[in-house]
Structure 1
Amino acid sequence: MKILIDIGHPAHVHLFKHFAWQMQNKGHEIFFTCREKEFEIYLLRKYGFKFKSFGKKYVSTLGKLLGLIEFDIKEIISGIKFKPDIFLSHGSIYAAHAAFLLRKPHIALEDTGNWEQVRLYLPFTEVILTSDVFPIDYGKNKQIRYMGHHELTYLHPNYFQKDESFFKMLNIAKNEKFVLLRLVAWNATHDIGQKGISKNSLREIIKLLERKYRVFISTESNLNENFKKYKISFPPDRMHQALYYADLFIGEGTTMSMEAAILGTPSIYVNSLQYSNVKDMEKYGLIYNFKSTEGLLNKIKEIMSDENIKLEWQKRRERMLKDKIDVTAFLVWFVENYPESARIMREEPEYQYRFK
């Protein structure tokens, strides 16, 4: 089987990497397409995948409209050359359009439900795989729900391995406590009108955290001069080690907030955008969810006062994992046995229990 996977974000490389490795070990051929946003190229090369880059993403509204046409054409050309049996993506408009024109199935994974994207790929997609807590209904003929989250495809205990050499790279002692803050660029289409941590709030947060922790900031955009000394750039393939060993994570981005929680690190999500996956982690007590910075400092003080908080979070993580499946194992089975797998899941959704 030949599978073309379209990547729209660095996190999507992590989403599909174990799936791709397992499928390659089974004799299937995998090919990635991508645009350059942040670290996609680095990760695809690091993991040894065959890929085609379509160039840099457009930021302006007009640019995104032009990019829709340009990247559609490039995806179609890649499909013609590679001749995939299936297109797979995290809700890629380009993969959906190319699959439709080349008369191949497109399987999409979805966890945000951003309508400005979904409406452009939904009509051209055979199956949308979503978490069982995902609130939007795309119809029983399109949507299949599974018990898990995207981040479990690479952070499930079957795949993630901690590596203490991380501390040497960071040049800190193993017993030195540190906090990781993640600030986003706010230039995605779904970010319009949204907000997270203001500069004034960031200043107060850092001042408080420095009483107990070493503070590191990871960001997609330029920092104010006052904060530049905190900025750090982890190798993208090592970021999950940082999240695992951190004593606390505070971030505006959904993905890294989820990753920290799933790894058992106290996670604070600050964003006016609210997603079902974050709320699910909140249910297990793994994420503190803030629409604004109101009350944030008090929550940080509460966390700082608990010397056993990491141990408690690991217990909460174990409770969460008991309710979830190995999403990569499920995805390998689903794609390898498609379309029969879709029929089985629609008629017998409890079939997924075997992937726990």
Structure 2
Amino acid sequence: MRILVFANTPAHVHLYRHAVDRLESAGHDVLVLTREYACTTDLLDFFGMPYRVYGTHGTESYSKLRFARELGGQFVTIAREAVRFDPDVIFGRGPYAAYAGTLTRSPVVLVLDDEPGDFNHTVSRPFAETILSPAVTRRDLGENHYTFTGFKECAYLHPDVFSRDENVREFLGVGPDEPYVIARFNALDALHDADIEGFSPSQRRDLLERLSEHATVFVSDEGGRMELRDLPARPYDLHPALIHDAMAEASLLVADTGTMATEAALLGTPAFRYRGTDTHEYGEFQELERAGLAEQFDEYIDVRERSLEILADDDAPARWQRRRQEYIATLTNLAELLVAVAEARGSIDRLSPAIRQTVQPVQRETAWPEQ
């Protein structure tokens, strides 16, 4: 079989990397189409995934009009690469996968979460053979929408596929018992981030100064524009492929971005997210809050004070790990599910009975209304 995968962001690389590895090991031909964005191609190289680049995307602020113009040029390359590869099934999201599926007449599988991406969902849904999303997704995406127990991050953080690198503290230059915090600042440049603001420059400085009084602080700045020379913090400068190992050892992750907060929570690290001006209610975060693994804050002062409180709580690491172990054991190994769906050419009906039991059609009468 020939499987085409769209990986437009670093998170997408992680989502598909285990599935791609297993599909190739089973003798299938896999191609990843990607764009030059942040560390996306660095991750593809690190994990040895077969890819071709169809365009670029910067980390500066984008308007929806600029996104539309950008898509036009990228679609030309996508068309050429997709037709040349001639896939049996396509995985992705948004207009990229939908367009490639239309050109090649291939079934499209969309793996979605609860981001407020109305444009992405609207343009791609009519072309999907199957839509997969976490059971906590707050959307009804039609008759081909199926849910699984867990999160898209379970494709690489489920205990069946994730094991931390025990050398990560040495790589970071911190001692075996030295507490450290990862502060993640979002570039807010994606389509669904338009007009959203996270930590302000002054809030970032204040947060780093206060956190540094209790722990070593590493900054992961997606936009790459923050100057740290006069601040008591270090840049997170390990290879981006090691970020989950670093998060798993951290005492706290505090962020104004969603994906890394979800990842930290699933690793059993206290994950505090500052919402800023983002008013969207994410089903994933509500579930993680219910499990006691993540917390969200509307006000900057609240996330700062809660962060300082948790760093002073010596029992917090063990408490979070107990919660994580109890919770994550109930979740689906998404990598295994993606492989099975690929080999079934995107058809849920072709799955084996054992795998079929891990997905459920959306109950239309009780599903969240489309937003």
Under a length normalisation based on structure 1, what TM-score does the superposition of the two structures give?
Answer: 0.92
The structural deviation recorded for 1:109 is 0.3
**2:299 aligned partner:** 292
Q: 1:339 to 1:187 in 2, by over 3 A?
A: closer
Letter in 2 for 1:129: L
Residue aligned with 1:306, SS: coil
Contact 2:253 / 2:272 at 8 angstroms: preserved in 1? yes
**1:170-249 superposed matches below 5 A:** 170-221=172-223, 222-224=225-227, 226-227=230-231, 229-249=233-253
Change (3 A) 1:318 1:263: same
Q: Distance in 1 between matches of 2:189 and 2:119?
A: 14
Q: Write the letter of the residue equivalent to 2:244.
A: H
Structure 1: gaps spanning 5 or more residues: none
For the structure 1 residues 145 and 349, does the alpha-carbon distance in structure 2 shift closer, same or farther, using more than 3 Å as the test?
A: farther
Between the aligned partners of 2:212 and 2:116, the Cα distance in structure 1 is: 37
Aligned length: 350
2:49 maps to 1:32: no
In the TM superposition, residue 229 of structure 1 has moved relative to its aligned partner by 5.0
Distance 1:246 1:79, change over 3 A: same
Return the offset for 1:147: 0.6
From 238, 260, 274, give the equivalent of 1:256: 260
Q: Does structure 2 conserve the Cα–Cα contact (< 8 Å) formed by 1:178 and 1:247?
A: yes
SS of the residue aligned with 1:295?
Answer: helix
Instruction: Indicate which of 149, 152, 157 corresponds to 2:151.
Output: 149
- CA drift of 1:179 comes to 0.4
The 2-side partners of 1:350 and 1:283 are apart by 27
Q: Residue in 1 aligned with 2:367?
A: none
Q: What amino acid does structure 2 have at the position aligned with 1:275?
A: Y
Distance 2:317 2:22 in 1: 32
Distance 1:193 1:313, change over 3 A: same
Match of 1:282 among 284, 289, 292: 289
Residue 321 (1) aligns with residue 325 (2): no
Alpha-carbon distance between aligned partners in 1 of 2:2 and 2:306, rounded to the nearest angstrom: 49
1:127 aligns with 2:130: yes
How large is the Cα RMSD of the aligned pairs?
2.2
Deviations 1:100-120 (A, max 9, x none): 122111101000241022112
Of the candidates 344, 352, 356, which is equivalent to residue 358 of structure 2?
Answer: 352
CA–CA separation in structure 2 for the residues paired with 1:138 and 1:348: 24
**SS state at 2:300 partner:** coil
Gaps of 5+ in 2: 360-371
Q: Given the superposition, is the C-alpha separation of residues 28 and 350 from structure 1 closer, same or farther in structure 2, using an over 3 Å criterion?
A: closer
Contact kept, 8 Å, 1:243 with 1:260, in 2: the verdict is: yes
- Structure with the higher helix share, 1 or 2: 1
Q: Report the counterpart of residue 11 of structure 2 in structure 1.
A: 11
Q: State which drifts further: 13-22 or 169-178.
A: 169-178
Residue 349 (structure 1) shift? 9.2
In the alignment, the residues of structure 2 paired with residue 154 and residue 17 of structure 1 have an alpha-carbon distance, to the nearest angstrom, of 8
Question: What residue number does 2:56 align with?
Answer: 56
- Which residue in 1 is equivalent to 2:318? 311
Query: Which amino acid in the other structure matches residue 321 of structure 1?
Result: I
Q: Per chain length, whose mean CA-contact separation is higher, i.e. which structure has more relative contact order (CA < 8 Å, sep 6+)?
A: 2
Q: Which whole-Å CA distance do the structure 2 matches of 1:162 and 1:230 have between them?
A: 22
Q: Closer, same or farther in 2 for the Cα pair 1:339/1:196, shift >3 Å?
A: closer
What SS does the aligned partner of 2:357 have? helix
Report sequence identity in percent.
Answer: 27
Q: What is the CA deviation profile of residues 169-193 of structure 1, one whole-angstrom value per residue up to 9, with x for unaligned ones?
A: 1112111110000001122222223
